[in-house]
Amino acid sequence: MSLSFRAAIFDMDGVITRTAGLHAAAWKELFDDLLRRMAPDGQAWQPFDERAEYRALVDGKPRLEGVRSFLRARQLSLAEAEVEELARRKDLLFSRRLQEQGVETFDSTIALVRALRERGVRTGVVTSSRHGREILGIAGIGSLFDARLDGIDIGELGLAGKPDPDMFLKCAEALGTAPGRTLVFEDAVAGVQAGRRGGFGLVVGIDRGGNAAALARAGADVVVQDLAGLDADRLEAALRARQQEIAWRIEQEGFDAARERQMESLFAVGNGYLGVRGALDMPPPGSQCDMFIAGIYDRKRPDLPYSETEFLTPDRDDLYAELVSVPFPFTLAAELEGEPLAFGGPHGRELRRTLDLRTGVLHIEALYETPGGRRTAIRTRRCASLADPHLLLQEAVASGENHWAAVALEPALEPPQTAARHPHVERIETASLPDAPLVRYRTLASGFEICLASRTSREPQGLRRRIVVYTSRDTADPRAAALAHLQSLEGQDFEALFDAHAQAWAEFWRRADIRVPGRPSVEQALRFGSYHLRLPAGDDPRVSIGARTLTGRGYEGHVFWDTEIFMLPFFLHTEPGRARTLLMYRHHTLEGARRRARELGYRGACYAWESTVTGDDVTPSKIVLRSSGKEIPIFTGSQQVHVTADVAYAVWRYWEATRDEDFLSGPGAQILFETARFWASRMVPGEHHHHIRGVVGPDEYHHGVNDNAYTNWMARFNLEQAAWAARRFGLHEAEAQEWSGLAGSLYCPGPGADGVIEQFEGFFALGDYPLPKEERLKAPISRLFDWEAINRLKLVKQADVLMLPLLFPDAFPHEVVAANYRYYEPLTDHGSSLSPGVHAAIAARIGLLEDAQRYWEQSLWLDLSNAMDNSMLGVHAAAIGGTWQALVFGFLGVRFADDGPRVDPLAGQRLPAGWDGVEATLAWRGRSHPVKVVRP
């Protein structure tokens, strides 16, 4: 087996040499003497524990830090000069023992080092001991290591001691290897933590006596009692297994207040009925610790942001204009002897958030240090049950790392500052029923009632909570429903509830997972995307998926064309039933679309550019800049009417993928007919053709344009399919004939002599705009400042014409697709997150593989890298859907025939660089079809 790791770094004491006992004995002699001297006359004193306290307080640390750590734990205070003297004395005590007893090595470790070197693996050794080189020399093993770093080097280089990863990182640098391709071998908890924080490929913990659990908790990937059972091939297998496991997790280390809101979006949990942002259990100031419940909207608050933190929108006279942020249900209060433990205070030291994508569980590990050096760990896990949409689960465990004091943990259904953080709701009841605290809220304008009830069980070091959520959208009496549901959970095993949730996620992944062998980071990002598409997709046909799902306040929770054009294909080919539910939302809001058409002066149904629960248009008419108060007009609400055809297109694609006759003959046909009636009334006759004037296409930098290619192509398709459906069901014969005639008469811009399709009438005559690279992939704040000037320039916000070969892949020959890509790509600034995925798909199709990979990776990592600096307002679900489409329909070139998906014969050659293959499962007409592509 070839090895993917290039280096291995070994701690010395307790791993290579049997000197840990010498160190422990030296520390004991030092500290026992100190304790004896400091004890009041005649009073007993507690000796240093050379097992427990050695491991917890001094093992693996530089001498000075070891002294300080012990003094803090015992709440002893000494002058700095006395601390330094103790450190010097410890060095002398160890040196004496070293000279008297000599150095023994672990034969199994030496054998492994030799075996690794024979396989070409470079080796290094690190130790906090200032005697490192001396010990290696006495043992006669110095030549076995290509890099050596000891306590003297650490001092001279100014490196932090463990658990900081500095010394391991410096050793890896000396070995010329990246941390991800380097192994770390450690017997100390602090050393394991250092290896984990340094991002090393594999951290092996060596348990020399009852420390296995602590090493595993600290992050050791493998824990063994001795290295005799390991060889290079087993280590390689463990490394690959860890990489596969990492590909199922999203992790964040450390606390950064400036990035906290972004983290809250990324680490959200949800189940379609509700979503809860990934805020800390003890939310710090500035946290946007929100819960969102699908369908719960209220009147717009003009002081809350729209699509960017800089953008405000005026109050609108609509009861359902803005998604409501409900108080965070997972709030805890933690104290140690009166000191609050939270990252909003002075005691937060270490933080790790881990989202387990496989099971949909968020784990948070936080370490606090209070006066006296007392270190307390609080570990929590939470989920929004996928098996029971009304149920939230939370567990919290607190433990002292170097003390035995009790930690007070208290849950709260209602966090502090509710009115300021959640301005759409008012509390109407707080009740402390026996074992079931309850709180009820009402939205201020729309009048929805929300009830949260919980039951908490106490454990030896923590608590477990079942939290139930109901609203008046679910039942006439959400209070009674919540209490009854809570009662039904009585007696059910807590772990069984987590297991049922995990099993539901397992079923999803069976249908939706994409494997890219040997590329765990790509698998991780793809799974992150699929997780966030599944999170807002529920079972309620009265709601759909908003632009930022249930993870943030961006776009006020509004539903756009994003759902049908960018997200729906993912569900069509993974969970077709959920695709149907999303389309049923459009049927449920059909009356709102009819009202919208009438408001605009037309017949039929015109879907709102931005809608919520009624289908009425809630698009703001203007944006107000927070910093200056400047007002900028928004034309999309009245002119971006292509959304109507987008819905019809999605209806047809669903029918193609499922052959769902009940849907097509009922809701689907109604949508097709009503949207066709709109287009028939929206068109105007010209000398030779009918035209659609005064619109905004997908490129939102240009308004009031005529014959936008995308809009007209989609409207024609809408008319054609409506006519087909009418004839199929023997309905509306006269209208069907009219729709067919209008479809044939509608002017749809086609390729010119150079193969390029004009985006809209007069686009080619617009002024040129040299687009610098640094202006790409940024939120279009500056563009909005200059909207009048931009309207006269050949500058494109996002894929517009290039949407056509994505949605109609068989309509254009290769030469036309390539010509349009080469023309429009340099003009596009990708001011929308929807754009990179489309460009990736088209570039892959025409063989521009470097472009394809660059755009695809931009789309793949958009939220994880916060590329557009606005992920704090929620994840970009449409970009995630576009990423999925770019892989499946672009790189793999999947097309569907009656018997299932067919992969383009050239797909293996089009795979991104470094990929050996890709495997997926695609649903088509009632069956799941495995798809596998390998590089030739």
Active site members: 11, 13
Q: How far apart are CA 521 and CA 376, in angstroms?
A: 33
Compute the Cα dihedral for 718, 719, 723, 724 and give only its sign.
negative
Contact partners, residue 317, CB within 8 Å, separation at least 6: 299
Dist CA 856 CA 887 (whole Å): 8
User: Taking phi first (over 0 means left), then psi (-120 to 50 degrees means alpha), and beta for anything else, what does residue 439 get?
Assistant: beta
- Would you say 704 and 635 are in contact if contact means Cβ atoms under 8 Å apart? yes
Edge-to-edge strand order for the sheet containing 462-471?
Answer: 249-253, 348-356, 361-370, 374-384, 391-400, 462-471, 449-459, 436-443, 425-433
Burial of 120 (0-12, 13-18, 19+ CB in 10 A): exposed
Residue 57 DSSP symbol? I
- The secondary structure of 374-443, three-state, reads EEEEEEEEEEECCCCCCEEEEEEEEEECCCCCCEEEEECCCCCCHHHHCCCEEEEEEEEECCEEEEEEEE
Phi, psi (degrees; rounded to nearest 5) at 623: -115, 140
Contacts of residue 846, defined as CB under 8 A and 6 or more positions apart, other chains included, come to 814, 817, 818, 821
Q: Copy the structure tokens of residue 883.
A: 């990423």
The single-letter DSSP state of residue 603 is S
Amino acid (1-letter code) at residue 287: S
Nearest Cα to Cα of residue 804 among 783, 793, 819, 826: 819
**H-helix or E-strand containing 37?**
helix 20-38
Report the C-alpha gap between 562 and 856 in whole angstroms: 18
Handedness of CA 258, 264, 265, 266 (dihedral sign): positive
Q: Are 237 and 3 in contact (CB under 8 A)?
A: no
Residues 599, 615: contact at Cβ < 8 Å? no
Angular region, 464: left φ>0, alpha ψ -120 to 50, beta rest: beta
> What is the Cα–Cα distance from 163 to 152, expressed in whole angstroms?
18
The β-bridge partners of 333 are 410
* β-strands 311-312, 322-323 pairing: unpaired
Bond into 165 cis (ω within 30): no
Question: Residue 919: which of 523, 529, 503, 576 has the closest Cα?
Answer: 523
To the nearest 10 degrees (0 to 180), the angle between helices 642-658 and 576-588 is 140
In DSSP notation, 545-562 reads: --TTTTS--GGGG-B-TI
Please, what is the angle between helix 80-101 and helix 63-73, to 10°?
120
Strand partners, 202: 183
CA dist., res. 160 & res. 153, Å (int): 11
What distance in Å separates the CA atoms of residue 663 and residue 657, rounded to the nearest whole number? 12
- In contact, 349 and 375? CB cutoff 8 Å: yes
Pairing, β 407-411 against β 391-400? unpaired
Q: Tell me how far apart the alpha carbons of residues 847 and 827 are, in angstroms, rounded to a whole number.
A: 20
Q: Which helix (H) or strand (E) holds 836?
A: helix 835-845
Instruction: Enter the tokens of residue 531.
Output: 């997780």
What does the chain come to in residues? 936
